[in-house]
Structure 1
Amino acid sequence: MITLYFFDHESTTWQQRKLKALSDGFQFTSPIWIDLSEASSEEELHVMQKLAIAPTMLEDFTRQRHPPKFEAQDDFSLLILRGYADPDFSELTESAQVNVLFSRDILISKIQCHDPLLASQLQPQLAEKKNATVSDWVKQVILAVSASYLGKLLIFEDELSELEDVMLQKGDDELMSTMMRYRSVLRKVSRNLAYQKDIFAEASYEELHPMSKMFLSTDVRDFYEKFERLHSMTDMYYDQLSDLVDGYMSTTSHQINERMKVLTMVSTIFIPLTFIAGIYGMNFANMPELMYKNGYFIALIVMFFVGLGSLIWFKFKNWW
């Protein structure tokens, strides 16, 4: 079902209509917001054809998953953004995708988000008894997308500090697994933010960029700075997790080496003792030492001093 919103100047209120199709001569006071979040593919196609949207933009807008991008053709511009819809960074189930097609008078939106609260925040806000412009709506959507990352990144900063303290005191494999999951999610988040940062970086540095027709240069610069800051924070947290993982791996390797050193020293001590015991355990008839009255005690004493000498040598070499 197509949902259409328009501002009625007589009642100074926003009006909402549910439509299956747009009539050939539909006339409403601008701005108009057409919400296709609940529309079928046939209804989407009908709206795009009625507004003469370019086929390439139509294909990108209707795709279920598409990397963030900006494209401008004729009177309409296409902006695809991705918000963060999960409660934390322990697992990334699916990003909130926001597709908006807009001109000076018309906004077409399609929001795919499994979090109802975030989905409502990503929609243009209709202020009661107050008209708005399409650029205001698009700006609200951009700011809502950036805010979906910022709040969770700030919370994660505290979690990361606690995780670092725990790892320094009593790190274990379970915490190691948690950090690996965090790293995997942050890598994907960083990729989404890099796409979105580049969109506004290009717009802020090109004077004739199509986005400059809809927004002030200060707004475009603000969009870029928000996503650049989010991208930097994500990379910084990813690097900190990598340092914790590397530190845990180094500590674990050091502990294994210490254990192996002890086992090696024990093996080194017992190898000559085993050699002596092996020789005198042979069943040859002509072994003169077997006839010695105190041979057993002599063998034990020799073995004792061999072991003691090995320990003294290890201590002299500072191996223990």
Structure 2
Amino acid sequence: MISLSYFEPETRSWQQISFSKLPAKIPADARVWLNLTDATADETLQVLQRFAIEPTLAEDFSRQRHPPKLEAQSNFTLLILRGYADADFSEYTASAQVNILYSQNILISRLHCHNPQLLAQLTPLIQPGQSIAIAEWVKQMVLAVSGSYLEKLINFEDEQSELEDVMLHRGSDEQMASIMRYRSVLRKINRNLAYQKDIFSDAIYEQQNPLLRHFSDTEIRDFYEKFERLHSMTDLYYDQLSDLVEGYLSTTSHQINERMKVLTIVSTIFIPLTFIAGIYGMNFVYMPELHIANGYFMVLIAMALGGIGGLIWFKIRGWW
């Protein structure tokens, strides 16, 4: 279903009309918002053909999953953004995909978002009786996308601090599994933020960038700084989690080495004693030591001295 909101400049009012009743020639001071979120593939194609959208832009716009992108034709600009729709970083189900085509007075949007709260933030706000610039709607969407990451990253800072304290005192495999999940999610959203940061970074230095049609240098730089800050935060958190993993593995390895050292010392002490016991456990008829009256006690004393001597030697060498 195509949802079409039309601002009539003469009556200065917003109307919900069907796509078939859209004027063939839209006045410059009119505003049109076509929401294709619930539209079928045929309806989407019908709208894109109506506004003569180039095939490459139409194909990218129609996709449910596409990396963030900025592209333009003579009168329309395609902007694809990805927001973060999950409650936290413990799992990553799917990004909030924002596909928009816009011109001076027309906005065509297609949103894919499973989070109702974020979906509401991404939906343009219509003020009764007021004509709003299409660029303001686009700006609202860009800020909503960046805000979907910022809130989660700020909350994650406290959670990561707790993880650091736990791993420092009593780290476990459960915490390690949580850290690995967090790292996986951060790595995925880091890619999205890198794409989006580059979109606005290029606009700062390109004189003919499509964003300059509707936004000032200050606004574009503000967009870039927001996504650059988010990208830096994900890099920082990812590196800190990596340090926690390396620290936990180093601690675990050290503990294993300590246990192996104890086992090695015990083995080294008892190997000679086992050798002596093995010799006198052989069933030969002629063994002269077996007939010595105090032979049993002498062997025990020799074994005890050998064990104590080995411990003293380890202590002198600093191995124990």
State TM-score, norm by structure 2: 0.96
Cα distance change on mapping 1:99 and 1:22 into 2, 3 Å? farther
1:132-151 correspondence to structure 2 within 5 Å:
132-151=132-151
Residue type of the alignment partner of 1:107: L
- The whole-number CA distance in structure 2 between the counterparts of 1:22 and 1:285 is 116
Percent same amino acid at aligned positions? 62
What is the match of residue 112 of structure 2? 112
What is the match of residue 37 of structure 2? 37
Q: What do the CA deviations read for 1:163-200 (whole angstroms, capped 9, x no partner)?
A: 11111111100000000000000000100000000000
Instruction: Please state whether the residue corresponding to 1:42 is helix, strand or coil.
Output: helix
Alpha-carbon RMSD across the aligned residues, in angstroms, is 1.4
- Conserved 8 A contact 2:9-2:30: no
What is the match of residue 229 of structure 1? 229
What is the match of residue 4 of structure 2? 4
Cα distance change on mapping 1:214 and 1:4 into 2, 3 Å? same
- The whole-number CA distance in structure 1 between the counterparts of 2:70 and 2:137 is 16
- The whole-number CA distance in structure 2 between the counterparts of 1:197 and 1:35 is 26
Q: What do the CA deviations read for 1:24-83 (whole angstroms, capped 9, x no partner)?
A: 736466221110000000000000111100000011011121000000111111000000
State TM-score, norm by structure 1: 0.96
- The whole-number CA distance in structure 1 between the counterparts of 2:264 and 2:221 is 63
- The whole-number CA distance in structure 2 between the counterparts of 1:27 and 1:73 is 19
1:151-230 correspondence to structure 2 within 5 Å:
151-230=151-230
- Conserved 8 A contact 2:8-2:31: no
- The whole-number CA distance in structure 1 between the counterparts of 2:47 and 2:234 is 38
Instruction: Please state whether the residue corresponding to 2:3 is helix, strand or coil.
Output: strand
Q: What do the CA deviations read for 1:230-262 (whole angstroms, capped 9, x no partner)?
A: 000000000000000100000000001001100
Between 168-177 and 281-290, the greater mean CA deviation after superposition: 281-290
By how many angstroms is 1:211 displaced?
1.1
What is the match of residue 53 of structure 2? 53
**Unaligned ranges ≥5, structure 2:** none
Cα distance change on mapping 1:270 and 1:22 into 2, 3 Å? farther
Instruction: Please state whether the residue corresponding to 1:14 is helix, strand or coil.
Output: strand
What is the match of residue 123 of structure 1? 123
- The whole-number CA distance in structure 1 between the counterparts of 2:187 and 2:177 is 15
What is the match of residue 25 of structure 1? 24
What is the match of residue 302 of structure 1? 302
Residue type of the alignment partner of 2:38: E
- The whole-number CA distance in structure 2 between the counterparts of 1:6 and 1:119 is 21
By how many angstroms is 1:23 displaced?
5.5
- The whole-number CA distance in structure 1 between the counterparts of 2:13 and 2:305 is 100
- Conserved 8 A contact 2:78-2:102: yes
- Conserved 8 A contact 1:99-1:110: yes
- The whole-number CA distance in structure 2 between the counterparts of 1:298 and 1:107 is 100
- The whole-number CA distance in structure 2 between the counterparts of 1:128 and 1:240 is 48
- The whole-number CA distance in structure 1 between the counterparts of 2:118 and 2:300 is 79
Q: What do the CA deviations read for 1:267-292 (whole angstroms, capped 9, x no partner)?
A: 11100000000111111112111111
- The whole-number CA distance in structure 1 between the counterparts of 2:92 and 2:294 is 76
- Conserved 8 A contact 1:22-1:50: no
- The whole-number CA distance in structure 1 between the counterparts of 2:161 and 2:128 is 43
- The whole-number CA distance in structure 1 between the counterparts of 2:249 and 2:45 is 54
**Unaligned ranges ≥5, structure 1:** none
By how many angstroms is 1:128 displaced?
3.3
Q: What do the CA deviations read for 1:135-167 (whole angstroms, capped 9, x no partner)?
A: 111111101000000001000011111111111
